[in-house]
Each structure stands twice: as structure tokens, then as C-alpha cells.
Amino acid sequence: MIHHHPDQNLLLEYASGSLPLGPSLVIAAHVQLCAECRRQYHALNSLGGSILRQSPAQPLQAGAFERVMARIERAPDGIPGNCETPPPSPPDAALADVPPVLGRLLAQNPPLRWEKVTRSLQICRLRTGQKHYEVAFHRLCSGGEMAEHDHRGNELALVLNGSFSDQFGVYKRGDFILRQPGQVHKPIATQDQACVCLSAVSAPVAVTGISGWLLNPLIPFRPG
């Protein structure tokens, strides 16, 4: 059962199309896994449609329709429920059961390349066609720990497989996590299974303590 969800404001931004692409991918994947948030998403869409129908018509700028269609063609398909034909499973077993929106993203990112960050942590960065958020998969080995760290920007994350805990709670498949600057935490994966998460971050993390003085200047940040 999913216990952690995006708040109403984030869902509203996602439903209205005003959320940046990186966070939208995380929200879309969560909505495809979570029946509760999927119902809210459809309700917000219906409400937005009603408001538009009752609003007075406004003249469009020349070429507006063509620009909208071009944006739709460039964007990944993140519409929850639009998954009649699931994408082929990726070769990486850790990503074999991802939501459809991520399956389509994986198909645009062959071959996948996992980078070893520490003995416990691997990261696979993804190309998404935007320049504001680093979007990546993180794999924490069973029983593995991440270094205690703060966030220099917002991090939106979704558990895809396994589970982890920190001082704020326990997070399992489908759970959504939002971390903001000042929220220091130390994720620890459960002993029985590796934990795989999707994340979108607007700035690199900052390792706390003395080691942070040495490590933080070396932590890469690669939006794209």
C-alpha cells in the first residue's frame, strides 16, 4: 500500500501542465502507480475543463496551435492511464516493472549506464531534453546506506523497487518523497532487497560533516 503522496498543490501543477518536465516525470510515474492520486488527477482535470468551458473565449496569437503541437510531440507521454500497449521491458532487471511513462523514457535512453558512486550506491542519469533538473535512477544495495546529506535544491523522488528508511519515515514501492533545502537525511535500504528510486533534483546534494568539505565540490550535477 502506498502511504506517501504529492500534496494537492503539486498535483494541481502537474494536472495544469505548469510543472517543469523533470518533476512531472516523477509525478506521472507516481500517479500511474497510485489509484488514489490518479482519482485526484482526473478530478482536477475535470475541474479545469469545466473552468475553461465557462471562461470567455480569448483570441490566440498567430502560430499558437503549431507551437502547442510541437511541444506535445517533443514531450514524453506522461498521461496516466494511457498504457494500452506497454513498452518493452528494459534489459535491466531492476527496471523491469517501471510505470509506462518511465518505460517510454528508457526506450529513449539506450544503453543504460550505471555509475558507481560508493560501495552501496549506483546512479543512472537520463536524458530528458530539459536543462533545469537532473533526472536519474538511484540503486542502493540491500542494507546499504547513503551518506547523510542536505539538499541545495528540491528533490522529488519515487520508490520503484525495494524500500528504504530515514528519520522521516519508511518508503516502499510507489511512495513519493519531496525533500527541500534544510531537510538533512540518511537513507538506508532494507536488508532483504536493493532499493531503486527515480529522482529529479534541481541542484546537487550537500554531504554533511567534515567529509562534505572535500566531497561537495566533486559532486556532479548534470541536468539534461
Cα 139–135–22 angle (5° rounding)? 140
Q: Kindly report, residue by residue over 8-47, the tens digit of the pLDDT.
A: 999 999 999 899 999 999 999 999 999 999 999 999 988 6
Q: Which helix (H) or strand (E) holds 134?
A: strand 134-140
Write down the pTM of the prediction. Answer: 0.82
Check pLDDT > 60 for residue 48.
no
Check pLDDT > 60 for residue 89.
no
- CATH class, range 112-218: mainly beta
Cell numbers for 108, please give them.
529513449
Q: Which residues of 88-118 are buried (b: 16+ CB within 10 A; e: fewer)?
A: eebebebbeebbbbbbbbbeeeeeeeeeebe
Provide the residue ranges of all domains of the chain, joining segments of one domain with +.
112-218
Q: Kindly report, residue by residue over 134-143, the tens digit of the pLDDT.
A: 999 999 999 9
- Amino acid 46 reads S
Check pLDDT > 50 for residue 116.
yes
For residues 129 and 142, what is the distance between their CA atoms, to the nearest angstrom?
Answer: 32
